[in-house]
Amino acid sequence: MPTVKLYSYFRSSAAYRVRIALNLKGLPYELVSVHLTKDGGQQRKPEFRAVNPQMRVPALKLSSGEVLTQSLAIIEYLDDIHPEPPLLPAEALDRAKVRAIAQAVACDIHPLNNLIALQYLKRTLKHEQPDIDAWYHHWVLGGFTAIEAMIAPGPYACGAQVTLADICLVPQVANARRFKVPLDRFPKIVAVDAACLKLPAFDKARPENQPDAE
């Protein structure tokens, strides 16, 4: 039986990262869906706020009752307690390169394009959808231009082994496709995405393969 609960939303790229990591580690988990747009956003309900005061997914509730938040913190915790297969290289320089790509996604691209940011642009600042789409494309294209130059010879983002870089990059590519960002300028990124999605751990984690997918 699963010993952990993953609070997730099928379209959340941050939750997608954690699903990939759990699958790569072969760890069972109970998925608890938190729909980010229904009912005014289920993440805002008192029940989930008690789980994660930040009101965001993912959150990982351990068998001890402890709750972990923030996808990169969760993934590195999983890597610490379940070191096989490793998601970070052994050498410090190589680890730094992996983290640089992961953080280019998780700290630079994703926060500017997260649902909460897009809703603020639309609801509070009253921007029209074409302007919001242009905003989204701008940050993905800029970030992907940098990441394309950072990718090592494959098949994965940092070489022959899957790492945290791939775990962050694949969900961001899925989002880019969903928002119709042109990817023809990024053949390395597209190739990494294709290589990763051949792996069962990545395929099982896809948004369309989740029980709460619409």
Band the pLDDT of 3: cuts 50, 70, 90. confident
Q: How many CB atoms lie within 10 A of CB 61?
A: 19
pLDDT of residue 21: 98
Closest CA to 210 of 1, 65, 67, 7: 7
In the DSSP assignment, the letter for residue 86 is -
Instruction: Provide the sign of the torsion angle of the four alpha carbons 214, 6, 58, 18, taken in this order.
Output: negative
pLDDT of residue 2: 65
Band the pLDDT of 201: cuts 50, 70, 90. very high
% residues pLDDT > 90 (the chain): 97
% residues pLDDT > 70 (the chain): 99
Q: Which domains does the chain have, with CATH numbers?
A: 5-85 (3.40.30.10), 92-201 (1.20.1050.10)
**Is the pLDDT reported for residue 1 higher than 80?**
no
Residue 171 contacts residue 17 (beta carbons within 8 Å): yes
| pLDDT (mean) for 4-24 | 98
What does the pLDDT look like over 48-93, one tens digit per residue? 999 999 999 999 999 999 999 999 999 999 999 999 999 999 999 9
pLDDT of residue 214: 82
Question: Degrees (nearest 5) of the Cα angle 209, 85, 97?
Answer: 95
Instruction: Provide the sign of the torsion angle of the four alpha carbons 81, 87, 91, 92, taken in this order.
Output: negative
What does the pLDDT look like over 114-136, one tens digit per residue? 999 999 999 999 999 999 999 99
